Amino acid sequence: MNGCVPVSLLVPSLQAGRLYGLVSAVQDALLGGVDSLQYSLLNDFQRGFPLVARPFASIGECLGEPESEVISELTYLRACGKVSRVGGVFAPRTVGASTLAALKAPPERLEAIAAMVSARTDVNHNYRREHAWNLWFVVTAATADQVEAALREIESASGCRVISLPLLDEFHIDLGFDLGSGNRVTHPPRRVEARAPLTLTAAERRLMTVLEEGLELLPRPYARIGMRSGMTEDDVLDTLARWLRDGVLKRFGVVVHHHELGFRANAMCVWNVPDDRTGELGMALAAEHAVTLCYRRARAGDEWPYNLYCMIHGRERAEVEAAVASINRRLRLGAYPHGVLFSLQRYKQTGARYAALPAS
């Protein structure tokens, strides 16, 4: 029964009929015309995805649809870009090492540098943002030394100074993207300590590699993953359940592309707050419904003095600006140096690659 009941259906005020009515009223304006079944697949199964032999049949039972229709709709949503993949989101720096990095690309060379950065398999996110530090990307590798080597290679190839902003504390990260149901999931803050990479068996490493592209949309996807990774179907299911239980996976389910769902205004908001207040302010910021991610990162000296971050996504720029202004006023964050970096172009957005992780 794992994941059988959609999150929104657990809330009395959003029983199936009322949820479908709500979607009918807002879907065209908010989500680019997705229908009620698509909405449920996109919103309710971003976490708690069924870890059973036939997960799409289990979802179909919840939604009153045949397994074939669930598979068909997810295939369509992936083909049109609304779904990135169905798979796992690993906890930052629990598996391997990673960092957010930025550089200042000369305008006339920005596209060429962005293409070079995006071509790297150790880069999984790459955005142009509205700031002098105009190219922002995430590097993930097996070890911190490999991350540092990748940054130096990018610096050398681009001719641009690269700053590294590793994660220190997470207040709200990768628990899904609520599309309007009001069922926003939060978790306690977590200190992200430097640690040795997770030790994996050879089979687990193959499993992680296969999962990078997400589940194949077949009736028994875990059996297919097992065939490719040298594990039984039951071993795959047990391993995924263990990774979720141990916090290696933040969530397992549908990973959406917010831009393709109409949330085209994307801003990274940053503040320079006293270090002894980051916990208090980070938790307050994470509780804001408009905030989709919230964390503390290391500063990069005077070049980049900010340490508290959040992401806000909206349909229009004015909506995001209003949310930031409200947060600054109510949480008294406006008193601290801050900035709002709107995303101007998404060059790359994929799951992190972990194929180089060591086996035990």
Q: Where in the chain is the domain with CATH 3.30.70.3460?
A: 97-190+259-349
Q: What average pLDDT does this structure show over 10-30? A: 38
Q: What average pLDDT does this structure show over 32-48? A: 82
Per the model's pLDDT, the better-predicted residue between 15 and 254 turns out to be 254
Question: What is residue 154's predicted lDDT score, i.e. its pLDDT?
Answer: 98
> How much is the mean pLDDT over the chain?
84
| pLDDT reading at 175 higher than 80 | no
Distance CA 124, CA 288 (A): 27
Q: What average pLDDT does this structure show over 336-357? A: 83
| pLDDT reading at 164 higher than 60 | yes
- CATH code of the domain made up of 97-190+259-349: 3.30.70.3460
Rounded percentage of the chain residues whose pLDDT exceeds 70: 81
| pLDDT reading at 255 higher than 70 | yes
Per the model's pLDDT, the better-predicted residue between 186 and 250 turns out to be 250
Distance CA 261, CA 177 (A): 11
Q: Check if the beta carbon of residue 37 is closer than 8 Å to that of residue 266.
A: no
Q: How many CB atoms neighbour CB 43 within 10 A? A: 25
Question: What is residue 355's predicted lDDT score, i.e. its pLDDT?
Answer: 56
Token code pair at residue 344 = 């101007």
| pLDDT reading at 352 higher than 80 | no
Question: What is residue 25's predicted lDDT score, i.e. its pLDDT?
Answer: 41
| pLDDT reading at 329 higher than 80 | yes
Per the model's pLDDT, the better-predicted residue between 360 and 47 turns out to be 47
- If pLDDT is split at 50, 70 and 90, which confidence band does 193 have? low
pLDDT tens sequence across 256-275: 887 777 778 899 999 999 99
Least confident range from 38-52, 112-126, 179-193, 301-315: namely 179-193
Q: How far is CA 308 from CA 273, 305, 312, 326, 333, in A?
A: 7, 10, 13, 17, 10
Token code pair at residue 148 = 């540092």
pLDDT tens sequence across 73-117: 999 999 988 998 999 988 776 777 889 999 999 999 999 999 999
Question: What is residue 30's predicted lDDT score, i.e. its pLDDT?
Answer: 45
Q: What average pLDDT does this structure show over 277-299? A: 92
Q: What average pLDDT does this structure show over 182-191? A: 51
Q: What average pLDDT does this structure show over 202-208? A: 88
Q: Check if the beta carbon of residue 142 is closer than 8 Å to that of residue 97.
A: yes
Q: What average pLDDT does this structure show over 157-176? A: 86
The counts of H helices and E strands in the chain are 11, 12
Q: Check if the beta carbon of residue 327 is closer than 8 Å to that of residue 292.
A: no
Question: What is residue 51's predicted lDDT score, i.e. its pLDDT?
Answer: 97
Q: What average pLDDT does this structure show over 114-124? A: 96
pTM for the structure as a whole: 0.76
pLDDT tens sequence across 208-247: 888 888 999 999 999 999 999 999 999 999 999 999 998 8
| pLDDT reading at 121 higher than 80 | yes
